[in-house]
């Protein structure tokens, strides 16, 4: 027999026991001040049962509906409800004409628990090596360790606590450590970012594993239900070392201040890595070095690993008072204790001479930060702490660029890196050659005026009034001047006069893709598994972590020995 719940055919499913059943209500609207008691009452009314029949009521998904088309800002919930199976009102037939109701089958074990309960396998003759301790590398090393393969995880930078000191010195004194900085070190570039865990990935199983693992390592359990989960850079700095300890507890090794210097191949098979001048024999390397390790791309190109140029994006980062953003998104509900700092996403199609333009990596209540991994080059990014309480929001406004813009081709796969470097060198010079961020007001930027000064109300203390157009390619500059004003107007009461612009934003994604096949291996270097943002197959903390996890699964499934 089949019952129709909201137009969706539902097969009868096994119940947990003969007396209770669970259902899920989706698209369930509740006001911002709802309580556990008011939610239980609303659920009972929705289902047509007495309130005492609701044995349990658990929110499993939560998002904010700020469209305000049919009323005030509210929460949209998915709620799992346990009911007595013997009640006539709680049979599927009673919900035949009701939408947003699903029968919940007996629960499978949590994704993380299933992996942890799986038996370990014997180690390989040569330990697999994971290069890079960002999201992709950490998850890959964790999964290999869970599988019994005792991986060696290396990173050129420092552990998180030591890295924090070098980053603080860079921001306050302009002293760059080329090996351990905002972009290199334990946690990867994601450690100094907004800590957003949003993703467009449809791989729900691996995504759930990543989130559950973060909670086990200290993240708030709210990330398991929030539609836009957020951790914050301060919490990530505590979580990442806990993840490292899980790798060590399963027999893995973690080595910091360890820089990959070369690869050895024999007839297209990886045989060894050269790290800090020492040879590490291995047949498997998960390469998760991120999109800023430009020397690694050069090593790969030199030894004949297949690379290809790919599109990326260039632009600026714009900062504005968070209160105005909140008002634009939440209206009269702005400032409500449960809403927190609002975010936004903006896009604009090509028009006239202007290319497409879009906002990226919006950091509510965040900070604009300077980033560098090489002397004499500078880029910008945004980050936020867990409370998102800086009083300012910022986002990149980016313009897509294609290989044809920077001379990328099969023969010149690294052309995008050279192009990025030129922009970053100009930004460094525009900022005064001391790693201060070049900046101007948005009116000055739009008028192409060289600013004389900057407002004191801003998040980066080390910033210098500068003409940002001097650092930007013409195609990017022209697009931003034409596209940004109408994009900002979509967010009234945000006004152009209150916005500050910082440049240049160059590293939203990699300009190079390291080719791989369905087994996650390089076709020209078997045993080399390029993963994460640096390989060109991910963008953000969660997608990078999922990519590393899946590559490790592939190695475990197809390993030799």
pLDDT for 69? 60
Tell me which of 70-74, 327-331, 399-403, 556-560 is least confident: 556-560
What does the block give as tokens for 130? 């994971």
Q: Which helix (H) or strand (E) holds 323?
A: helix 322-330
pLDDT digits (tens, 9 = 90+) for 132-141: 999 999 999 9
Q: Look over the chain and give the mean of its residue pLDDT values, rounded to a whole number.
A: 90
**Cα torsion 457, 458, 462, 464: sign:** negative
Whether a cis peptide bond, with omega within 30° of 0, leads into 32 is no
Q: Rounded CA gap, 183 and 290, in Å?
A: 9
pLDDT band at 86 (very low <50, low <70, confident <90, very high): low
Angle between helices 204-216 and 233-249 (to 10 degrees): 90
Q: Please list, in sequence order, all residues whose beta carbon lies within 8 angstroms of the beta carbon of residue 439, skipping any fewer than 6 positions away.
A: 451, 454, 458, 460, 463, 464, 465, 466, 468, 500, 501, 502, 503
CB distance 441 to 497 below 8 Å: yes
Q: Rounded CA gap, 283 and 125, in Å?
A: 9
CB distance 184 to 373 below 8 Å: yes
Q: Specify the higher pLDDT residue, 15 or 521.
A: 521
Q: Rounded CA gap, 287 and 263, in Å?
A: 11
pLDDT digits (tens, 9 = 90+) for 457-474: 999 989 999 999 999 999
CB distance 146 to 302 below 8 Å: no
Quick one: 97 exposed, middle or buried, by C-beta within 10 A (0-12, 13-18, 19+)? Answer: exposed
CB distance 274 to 262 below 8 Å: yes
Tell me which of 60-74, 170-184, 196-210 is least confident: 196-210
Q: Specify the higher pLDDT residue, 461 or 476.
A: 476
Quick one: 477 exposed, middle or buried, by C-beta within 10 A (0-12, 13-18, 19+)? Answer: buried
pLDDT for 10? 32
Fold exhibited by the domain 3-107: Alpha-Beta Plaits (3.30.70)
Q: What is the DSSP string of 265-304?
A: EETTEEEEEEETTEEEE-S-EEE---TT-HHHHHHHHHHT
3-state secondary structure of 321: strand
pLDDT for 1? 29
Is the pLDDT reported for residue 18 higher than 60? no
Q: What is the DSSP string of 424-463?
A: HHHHHHHTTSSSPEEEEEHHHHHHTPPPS---S-SS-SSE
- Strands 253-255 vs 152-154: parallel, antiparallel or unpaired: parallel
The domains of the chain are located at 3-107, 116-306+511-558, 312-505
User: Would residue 304 be called left, alpha or beta, if left means φ above 0 and alpha means ψ between -120 and 50 degrees?
Assistant: left
Place of tokens 């991910």: 538
**Cα torsion 125, 126, 128, 133: sign:** positive
pLDDT band at 196 (very low <50, low <70, confident <90, very high): confident
pLDDT digits (tens, 9 = 90+) for 285-298: 999 999 999 999 99
What does the block give as tokens for 175? 């002293």
CB distance 364 to 344 below 8 Å: no
Q: Rounded CA gap, 56 and 33, in Å?
A: 20
CB distance 231 to 219 below 8 Å: yes
CATH architecture of the domain 116-306+511-558 equals 3-Layer(bba) Sandwich (3.50)
Q: Please list, in sequence order, all residues whose beta carbon lies within 8 angstroms of the beta carbon of residue 359, skipping any fewer than 6 positions away.
A: 344, 345, 346, 347, 395, 396, 397, 398, 487
pLDDT band at 116 (very low <50, low <70, confident <90, very high): confident
Q: What percent of the chain lies above the pLDDT cut of 70?
A: 92
Q: Which of 20, 153, 42, 149 has the alpha carbon at shortest distance from 87?
A: 20
**What average pLDDT does this structure show over 76-100?**
72
């Amino acid at each position: 027999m089949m019952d129709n719940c909201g137009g969706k055919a539902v097969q009868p499913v096994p119940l947990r026991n003969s007396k209770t059943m669970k259902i899920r209500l989706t698209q369930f609207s509740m006001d911002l001040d709802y309580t556990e008691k008011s939610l239980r009452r609303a659920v009972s009314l929705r289902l047509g049962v007495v309130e005492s029949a609701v044995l349990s009521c658990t929110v499993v998904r939560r998002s904010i509906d700020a469209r305000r088309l049919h009323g005030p800002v509210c929460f949209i919930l998915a709620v799992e409800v346990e009911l007595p199976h013997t009640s006539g009102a709680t049979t599927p037939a009673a919900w035949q004409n009701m939408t947003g109701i699903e029968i919940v089958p007996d629960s499978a074990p949590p994704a993380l628990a299933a992996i942890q309960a799986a038996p370990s396998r014997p180690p390989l003759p040569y330990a697999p090596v994971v290069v890079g301790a960002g999201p992709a590398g950490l998850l890959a090393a964790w999964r290999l360790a869970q599988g019994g393969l005792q991986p060696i995880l290396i990173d050129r930078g420092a552990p998180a606590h030591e890295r924090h000191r070098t980053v603080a010195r860079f921001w306050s004194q302009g002293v760059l450590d080329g090996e351990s900085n905002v972009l290199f070190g334990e946690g990867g570039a994601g450690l100094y970012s907004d800590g957003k865990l949003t993703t467009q990935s449809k791989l729900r199983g691996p995504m759930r594993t990543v989130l559950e693992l973060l909670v086990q390592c200290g993240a708030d359990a709210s990330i398991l239900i929030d539609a836009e989960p957020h951790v914050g850079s301060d919490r990530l700095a505590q979580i990442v070392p806990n993840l490292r300890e899980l790798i060590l507890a399963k027999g893995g090794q973690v080595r910091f201040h360890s820089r990959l210097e070369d690869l050895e191949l024999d007839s297209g098979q990886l045989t060894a890595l050269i790290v800090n001048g020492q040879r590490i024999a291995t047949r498997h390397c998960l390469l998760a070095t991120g999109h800023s390790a430009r020397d690694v791309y050069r090593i790969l190109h030199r030894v004949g690993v297949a690379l290809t140029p790919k599109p990326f994006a260039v632009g600026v980062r714009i900062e504005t008072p968070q209160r105005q953003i909140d008002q634009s998104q939440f209206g009269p509900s702005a400032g409500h204790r449960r809403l927190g700092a609002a975010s936004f996403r903006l896009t604009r199609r090509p028009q006239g001479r202007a290319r497409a333009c879009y906002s990226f990596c919006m950091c509510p209540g965040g900070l604009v930060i300077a980033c560098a991994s090489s002397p004499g080059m500078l880029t910008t990014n945004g980050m936020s702490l867990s409370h998102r309480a800086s009083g300012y929001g910022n986002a990149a406004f980016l313009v897509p660029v294609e290989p044809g813009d920077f001379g990328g081709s099969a023969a010149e796969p690294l052309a995008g890196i050279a192009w990025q470097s030129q922009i970053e060198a100009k930004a460094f010079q525009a900022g005064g050659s001391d790693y201060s961020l070049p900046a101007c007001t948005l009116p000055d930027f739009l008028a192409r005026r060289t600013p004389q000064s900057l407002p004191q109300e801003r998040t980066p203390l080390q910033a210098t009034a500068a003409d940002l157009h001097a650092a930007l390619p013409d195609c990017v500059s022209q697009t931003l001047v034409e596209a940004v004003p109408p994009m900002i107007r979509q967010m009234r009461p945000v006004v152009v006069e209150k916005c500050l612009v910082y440049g240049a934003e160059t590293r939203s994604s990699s300009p190079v893709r390291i080719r791989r096949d369905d087994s996650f291996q390089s076709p020209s270097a078997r045993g080399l598994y390029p993963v994460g943002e640096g390989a060109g197959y991910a963008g953000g903390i969660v997608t990078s972590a999922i990519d590393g996890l899946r590559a490790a699964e592939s190695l475990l499934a197809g390993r030799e020995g």
